[in-house]
């Protein structure tokens, strides 16, 4: 069976990580990764998978890819690519894999309307949390075809990759994700600034790149944080940089599953987060904290950095929690059912 994975981004981030994990889980199937060309090509090919460069993420380019590759199933990731695939696929079955629940989901919005119009042409939907369908204004259109499937995280792979040499030292606080509005990197910088007022020696690292990178650099310059927050940009192996963090801070405005949180937990790193999307189902008091106000982030971080906690117990709790999301066999079986259902 030939399965075509369609993605919009040319860079490596959460959804792209999930797709590579799925491709690794199905060596018996022919899977092709298709997206606009960019840094992601190297990541895909280094993982041993076939990459197809889309000219763009628009319907015409998707249609051309389908005509050339002749897949048995199109596995389209996120709303826009699923919408485009639905109109480009002709008779090829389409699975829409929804990795997040963006703010426009509950509103009359061009994207919410376009996806609603495409849904009758989509055979199966996979969403990373129940909140996706619940928050979607036209969620009833997903009835009977939506499977809720939280991401599988290959925690052993994360731990193995984290052992590779890293040119950076240890830090107190770490951020991992795209420097984009949903992840709120500027709020992370502000939280670090507040902690620094109490602990002048605090250190931090931001792993990732994105459209807000310039604003982040300006904030660091304007607030004298250049020597406090280290920017390492995009890394094909972020885990070796992540392992040097003592605490992960995830102040996301919205999330689908919250993959980076599980990756941090798998390395014994507690997560202080917003609880957005799937994060509220990942993080609990045993392995971090959920915060809604800046002072709550500050208090939670100061408590952990005070030295008055049992770090060995916290690390153990984190690893136990991460292992909950590492059931490879169940994840693969659910995907198999979705593939079978799409072809009926």
Greater model confidence, 258 or 92: 92
| Confidence at residue 201, expressed as pLDDT on a 0 to 100 scale | 96
Give the confidence band of 264 by pLDDT, cuts at 50, 70, 90: very high
pLDDT in tens, 298-309: 999 999 998 888
Percent of the chain with pLDDT over 90: 83
In this structure, the number of other CB atoms found within 10 A of the CB of residue 144 comes to 7
| Confidence at residue 244, expressed as pLDDT on a 0 to 100 scale | 95
Cα–Cα nearest to 40, from 61, 26, 23: 23
Residue in this structure with the two tokens 């107190």, named with its chain if needed: 172
Residue 131 has pLDDT above 90, yes or no: no
In this structure, the number of other CB atoms found within 10 A of the CB of residue 48 comes to 10
Distance CA 184, CA 203 (A): 19
Torsion angle of the four alpha carbons 105, 109, 114, 120, in this order, in degrees rounded to the nearest 10: 50
| Confidence at residue 152, expressed as pLDDT on a 0 to 100 scale | 85
Residue in this structure with the two tokens 């929804």, named with its chain if needed: 98
Assess contact for 81 and 8: CB atoms under 8 A. Answer: yes
Provide mean pLDDT across the span 41-50: 94
Residue 344 has pLDDT above 80, yes or no: no
pLDDT in tens, 57-113: 999 999 999 999 999 999 999 999 999 999 999 999 999 999 988 889 999 999 999
Average pLDDT, the chain: 94
Question: What is the Cβ-side half-sphere exposure of residue 107, based on CA atoms within 13 angstroms?
Answer: 7
Cα–Cα nearest to 29, from 330, 340, 344: 340
- Domain 2-152+327-343's class? alpha beta
CATH 3.40.50.2000 residue ranges for the chain: 2-152+327-343, 155-323
Percent of the chain with pLDDT over 70: 100
Q: Distance from first CA to last CA of the chain, Å, rounded?
A: 14
Tokens for 35?
Answer: 């997206």
Assess contact for 72 and 1: CB atoms under 8 A. Answer: yes
Residue in this structure with the two tokens 């040499």, named with its chain if needed: 165
Name which of 149-153, 213-217, 226-230, 296-300 the model is least confident about: 149-153
| Confidence at residue 332, expressed as pLDDT on a 0 to 100 scale | 94
pLDDT in tens, 141-191: 999 999 999 888 889 989 999 999 988 999 999 999 999 999 999 999 999
Assess contact for 97 and 70: CB atoms under 8 A. Answer: no
The length of the chain is 344
Residue 199 has pLDDT above 80, yes or no: yes
| Confidence at residue 192, expressed as pLDDT on a 0 to 100 scale | 98
Assess contact for 129 and 257: CB atoms under 8 A. Answer: yes
| Confidence at residue 151, expressed as pLDDT on a 0 to 100 scale | 82
- Domain 155-323, CATH homologous superfamily name and number: Glycogen Phosphorylase B; (3.40.50.2000)
Q: Nearest 5°: phi and psi at 233?
A: 70, -165
Provide mean pLDDT across the span 117-137: 93
Helix or strand run (H / E) with residue 61: helix 59-69
Burial string for 153-175 (b: 16+ CB within 10 Å, else e) reads: bbbeebbebbeeebeeeebbbbb
| Confidence at residue 289, expressed as pLDDT on a 0 to 100 scale | 96
**Strand pairing of 50-54 and 73-77?**
unpaired
């Amino acid at each position: 069976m030939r399965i075509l994975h369609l993605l919009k981004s040319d860079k490596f981030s959460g959804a792209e990580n999930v797709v590579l994990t799925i491709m690794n889980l199905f060596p018996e199937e022919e899977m092709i990764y298709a997206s606009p060309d960019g840094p992601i090509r190297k990541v895909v090919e280094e993982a041993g998978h076939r990459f197809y460069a889309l000219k763009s993420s628009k319907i015409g380019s998707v249609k051309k890819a389908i005509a050339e590759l002749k897949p048995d199933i199109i596995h389209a990731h996120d709303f826009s690519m699923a919408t485009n695939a639905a109109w480009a696929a002709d008779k090829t079955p389409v699975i829409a894999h929804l990795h997040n629940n963006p703010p426009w989901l509950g509103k009359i919005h061009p994207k919410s309307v376009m996806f609603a119009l495409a849904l009758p042409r989509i055979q199966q939907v996979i969403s990373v949390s129940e909140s996706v369908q619940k928050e979607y204004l036209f969620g009833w259109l997903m009835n009977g075809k939506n499977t809720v499937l939280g991401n599988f995280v290959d925690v052993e792979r994360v731990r193995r990759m984290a052992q590779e040499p890293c040119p950076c030292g240890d830090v107190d606080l770490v951020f991992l994700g795209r420097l984009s509005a949903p992840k709120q990197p500027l709020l992370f910088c502000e939280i670090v600034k507040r902690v620094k007022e109490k602990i002048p020696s605090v250190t931090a690292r931001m792993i990732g790149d994105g459209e807000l990178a310039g604003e982040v650099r300006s904030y660091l310059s304007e607030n004298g944080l250049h020597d406090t927050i280290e920017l390492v940009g995009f890394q094909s192996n972020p885990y070796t940089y992540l392992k040097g963090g003592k605490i992960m801070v995830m102040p996301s405005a919205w999330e689908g599953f919250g993959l980076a949180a599980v990756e941090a937990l798998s390395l014994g790193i507690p997560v202080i987060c917003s609880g957005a999307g799937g994060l509220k189902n990942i993080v609990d008091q045993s392995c971090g904290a959920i915060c809604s106000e800046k002072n709550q982030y500050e208090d939670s971080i100061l408590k952990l950095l005070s030295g008055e906690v049992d770090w060995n117990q916290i690390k153990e709790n984190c690893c136990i929690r991460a292992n909950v999301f590492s059931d490879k066999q169940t994840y693969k079986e659910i995907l198999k059912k979705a593939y079978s259902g799409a072809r009926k």
